[in-house]
Structure 1
Amino acid sequence: MFFKDINPINPINHVNHVNPINPINRMKSFRLAALVLAVALFLSACTSGTVQNQASDTAATGSDTGTSAPAASAAPVSTEPITLTFLHVFSGPREEAMNEIVQGFNDSQDRIRVEHEMVPGWYGGLLEQLQTLAVARQLPDLTIMGLSSHNFMKEGLGAVSVQPYIEQENTDLSDFFPNMLTLGQDEQGEQIAMPFAISTPLIYVNKDLLEQAGIDYVDQPESWEQVREWAKKAAQPSAGLAGIGFQLDYDTWQFQTLVESFGGQMASQETQTIHFNDEPGQRVMDFWLTMMHEEGTYPNISGSEAAENFINGSSVMIVATTGNLVNFTANADFDLGIMLLPTYDNMVNRNPRRVPAGGSNLYIMPSDPEREAAAWEFVKYATSPEAGAIIVEKMGYMAARKSLIEPNGLLSAYMAANPQATRSYDQLEDLGNWYNWPGVHGARIDSLMLDAFAAAFLKEKTGEEALNGAAEEVRQILGW
């Protein structure tokens, strides 16, 4: 696979997300990140001022003003087909769906050809790959990226704003859910990227096991405390039956979900203060540790293992992304139920549900005006109703366009046959942003927080010690 040649843009000391119970892999990632940074600094020192930030300047064409027309409007158009590279994280059936989208675009015209490639390691692995390619001056033309790295995609890798294209073509965005569009915007409301595969956390339930425990299934749990009680009642630790599982392999998405639903927040950039170790965050750790160490209902295993246990009937519940819907539906040999996130944390505090969006945006990476304009053509196709239907039906993600799930929309028959697929939209009004740490530090902060969770899960630290220690490290990293 060949990538176009550009200049490196602000590579950082990044740590790939790995299983939180494997600190050896984390140390390897730190060493790799240090090597990447050293190479980047060397290249930066050896690069002339004229060419040092060509790609950053390209990205800034739309970012600084939000109104200037794409430079492609004045660029000569080649008579030869343009081949674009596109990176993503999807494998298996999801990669087949990506191939269907890419092939559909390639077949729809003869001027642009897109070649896609899966990068292992989920969003953390993709982010590390992008930084390595930036150092080597070989960024792809297009990529997806997890929502927690949105700021870094613009500030660290110079992602090209799509706002000028939208304005020049007077693109109608009214069909998109407004709070999904905001996931790809900057603080000024400029559309940097487009929503692609969006998800929310859900509670997947083995209704057969719930019934065997004498628990009535409900679509909407009252509180997280109620969910904990269900896990305690239904689990059989001595027989290898877990009550519940969470997925903390790669990021802090589910931690943020609970922290905000318990009345807290991750941090405040306005006051430059860390808050994830405040009382709500400590309550989240107590919630997990009580189930893990005292009640034996939440085993200390990876999120991938938790998903396997759920499919195999060895776990009553799992908190997981909307994106698991297709996999669980196809492979679970039991009556599958899907609960929304609980309305409150408990019935005493009654802190309301908060739902940070998961999933990814679709980005154009900096190159030259003609390639960027060609990449925009693919972005339009990949976020069209036709492509959106594939993303929902074959990948399990949410529709970014309202028309898809309307009574006469492209997905009307699918939704009628698969009513479980409608569940995420019932909590759409509570959708918020996946927290973006300032600057280029998000991946490193996620990694150290996952290490803190692992230390508490392994009883090396108390929950309070783990969160307070992580908060202090974050303060030092950010200079707060």
Structure 2
Amino acid sequence: MRKTITGLLLLLLSIALAACGTSGSSGAPSAAPSGSADAASLQASEPVEIEFWNIWGGELIDSLVNEYNSSQNKVKVKAVFVQNSYEGIVEKLQVQAAAKKLPDIVSNGLLYTRFANDVMHAVPLEPFIERDGYDMSDFFPTMLNLGKNEQGQLIGLPYGISTPILYYNADHFRAAGLDPDKPPQTWEEFPAVAKQLTRDGHYGASVPIDFGWLYQALMETYGGSMMSADGQTVGLDSEASVNAVRAVTDMVNKDKSMPLLQLLQTFESMAKGDVSMLANTTAGLGQILPTAQFDLRTAPFPTYGGKRIVPAGGANLMIFTQDPAKQEAAWDFMKFLIDPQRSVQISKSTGYMVSRQSALDDPEMQKFLEEKPVYKATYEQIDGMVPWFNFPGTGGTRVQKIITDQIQAALQGQKTPEEAMKEAAKQANALIQP
């Protein structure tokens, strides 16, 4: 899925502000990172001004930026809200790159990690981490992998991460004679349960029709691969891919147990009780939970043949400025955003995951999870987390739209799953060739 949802007041992660002496730093750095100024550059009389591009805006972002700016006088951050989600950021980055005026720090969508590395030349973070002796040991390894480029360099830190989970209406389960403590655990079960739940004016299940991100989750869970082993062609027309698409299209066109709804519409329908189950991002909890007037529960993303793959949605924090002083300022602000305490704050507000074990173990977070167990499901599948696949080539960022368009054609009965994914593969292969 395109994971990102404008208006969710999503994420912002955390970590210790080195300038304030919090736990992220071991003290004064011994050497400046390659290509950046010594940390002493932040001791200038005038604050270093940097821009933070993000897709959320609103009170949450403003409060965090104000808190940081008030905590010290060496850096001044200006939050810049970018419309049209992560696609809007990519489009604006391309314009600014042509003008040689890149932003300083950006919440870059996980779908565009390759783009950030190959085109925008995101700044590697290891030199800063090593210089500061910054403790990375409690970050979840699968989340740190999300910010690595093809060479294994860390160019981004996790910032509001999500995985697809199963939401379900326990009241609907009871009314249909189903055990609410036993939601479907596999994709073999899922369609049959959806048919049983389709009654009393509501549908049994929902998956957003613009579900490029969920497509990866489903097709890789079914045993497929987004690319061939030699990396030369896409795997969109494989048997596993076609079967994954058919599982969803059959619920729409044959079983009549699933409506055609887009991403945000699925959250609204789940919250209103118009659908009984929903496969979608855990970040939707911030929208569904406040208005749901029923026994809302969650479970891990269903398996297929005992396998579960959950690509991560959300963003990485990345530094794009090539100015040494601004790199130092951006790194300092980044550490502030990914502090464990703030990670807990963001998770409680939005449903996005904390990115560190210390944040998950925090007593406040543990109390929150006990009081609201619907937030637990995403952590039960963290070991199955993989990066949101980035297709290679200059046209790689456009492949997701091809996938979405072709799957929608199948969902609307205009093509069979085989025809749709064969066409998707044909168009995608043409784009990724050098």
TM-aligned CA distance change 1:475 to 1:201, over 3 Å: same
Name the CA distance, whole Å, in 2 between partners of 1:164 and 1:310. 45
| Equivalence for 1:283 | 243
Q: Matched residue of 1:242: which SS?
A: coil
- Hey, what's the Cα distance between the residues in 2 that align with 1:307 and 1:296? 19
User: What letter matches 2:290 in structure 1?
Assistant: A
Per-residue deviation, residues 181-236 of structure 1 (Å, max 9, x unmatched): 11111233321111111111011111111211111123663311211111111113
Counterpart position of 2:10: none
Q: d(CA) in 2 for partners of 1:247 and 1:439?
A: 27
Map 1:13-412; keep pairs closer than 5 Å.
Answer: 69-73=34-38, 78-90=44-56, 95-218=58-181, 221-236=184-199, 240-249=201-210, 252-268=212-228, 270-342=230-302, 344-345=303-304, 350-406=305-361, 408-412=362-366
Q: Distance in 2 between matches of 1:228 and 1:395?
A: 29
- Structure 1 pair 220–190 and aligned structure 2 pair: CA distance change class (3 A): farther
CA distance in 2, matches of 1:417, 1:74: 43
So what's the TM-score if we normalise by structure 2?
0.88
Letter of the structure 2 residue corresponding to residue 429 of structure 1: D
2:415 to 449, 457, 461: 461
Q: 1:88 to 1:132 in 2, by over 3 A?
A: same
Q: Is the 8 A contact 1:69 1:168 kept in 2?
A: no
Deviations 1:320-372, CA, capped at 9 Å, x for gaps: 11111222221211110101112x32xxxx25111111111111112311011
- Matches of 1:180 and 1:409, distance apart in 2: 22
Greater shift in the superposed pair: 69-78 or 226-235: 69-78
Partner of 2:385: 431
Structure-2 residue corresponding to 1:422: 376
In structure 1, the residue matched to 2:398 is: 444
Relative distance call for 1:253 and 1:465 in structure 2 (3 A) is same
Could you say if the C-alpha distance between residues 440 and 382 of structure 1 is closer, same or farther in structure 2, counting changes exceeding 3 Å?
Answer: farther
Deviations 1:108-139 (CA, angstroms, capped at 9, x unpaired): 11111212132222222222222223233332
Q: Percent identity?
A: 32
Q: Distance in 1 between matches of 2:229 and 2:71?
A: 45
Q: Give the C-alpha shift of residue 374 in structure 1.
A: 0.3
Secondary structure of the 1:447 match is helix
Distance (whole Å) between structure 1 residues aligned to residue 39 and residue 197 of structure 2: 65
Unpaired segments ≥5 residues, structure 2: 6-31
How many residue pairs match? The answer is 406
Match of 1:56 in 2: none
CA contact 1:276–1:467 (8 Å) conserved in 2 = yes
Q: Say if 1:87 and 1:143, in contact at 8 Å, map to a contact too.
A: yes
Q: CA deviation at 1:269?
A: 6.2
Q: Does the Cα contact within 8 Å between 2:393 and 2:431 map onto a contact in 1?
A: no
Q: 1:219 to 1:104 in 2, by over 3 A?
A: farther
Aligned partner letter, 1:211 = R
Q: Quick one: structure 1 residues 386 and 18, their matched pair in 2 at CA, closer, same or farther if it must change by over 3 Å?
A: closer
Q: Deviations over 1:131-161 (max 9, x none)?
A: 2232333322111122121111111112111
Tell me the C-alpha RMSD between the 2 structures.
Answer: 2.3
Q: Does the residue aligned with 1:183 lie in a helix, a strand or coil?
A: helix
**CA displacement at 1:292 relative to structure 2:** 0.6
When residues 195 and 98 of structure 1 are mapped into structure 2, their CA distance, relative to the original with a 3 A threshold, is: same
Is the 2:115–2:397 contact (alpha carbons within 8 Å) kept by the matching residues of 1? no
